[in-house]
Amino acid sequence: MRSPISWALLGLVIQRPSYGYELVQRFERTYEDALELSSPSQVYTALDALARRSLIEKLPADDAAPDALRQPKPHYGATAAGVRGYQDWLIAQVHEERRRSRLFARQLAVLAPRAALAVIERYEQACLEEAKRTPIATADHTSDDGASGLASRLACEEDRLAVGARLSWIEYARREFRGLAAGRSRQR
């Protein structure tokens, strides 16, 4: 299963059993602009895909308080395989991140040194912009109890640490390409 929407949805079902419409709302609240739904129907498609793989299951209807007037809302809960699969997928992201970084480095290396330096310059600008935009955790922010506050703080800190590592890498890459450019101009 490759769709990040499906895995993100599985995470929400693991957090607590839920039904379609509520999941659409929780999805938008939790992932904000980090992962966007093109339409609410994506959630229903993803629920089907997760159920087919036995990662989630329909929970028995709550007979204690039936509401004859309303259409039943099927609630989904995660299976043990779903919880294990979600954890494995999270860990696999580390490899995916690493693959992307290595691909970027290799794609940069095929450029002529001066062109690569120009890309590095723009990449650095983008990183600096991202760094300054990362919000400071305000008092309200830190007192925000529950998973959404924690998720925001974790995401902010991850952003800041990642951009710091990128800025350090940019310095290293700049020196390498400058050395290469100087060597080439000496050869001429």
Q: Least Å distance between CB 11 and another protein? A: 26
Phi, psi (deg, nearest 5) at residue 59: -90, 150
Q: Are 68 and 41 in contact (CB under 8 A)?
A: no
Distance (Å, rounded) from C-alpha 3 to C-alpha 7? Answer: 7
Distance (Å, rounded) from C-alpha 20 to C-alpha 1? Answer: 20
Q: Least Å distance between CB 167 and another protein? A: 6
CA distances from 147 to 82, 121, 134, 161 (A): 20, 37, 19, 21
| Tokens at 53, concatenated | 């793989």
Task: Sketch the per residue contact string, 112 through 151, with another protein: x for CB under 8 A, - otherwise.
Answer: ---------x--xx-xxx-xx-xxxxxx--x---------
59 binds another protein (CB under 8 A): no
Q: Least Å distance between CB 178 and another protein? A: 9
For another protein, the closer of residues 132 and 188 by Cβ is 132
Residues of this chain that interact with another protein (CB under 8 A) are 121, 124-125, 127-129, 131-132, 134-139, 142, 156-157, 160-161, 163-164, 167-168, 171, 174
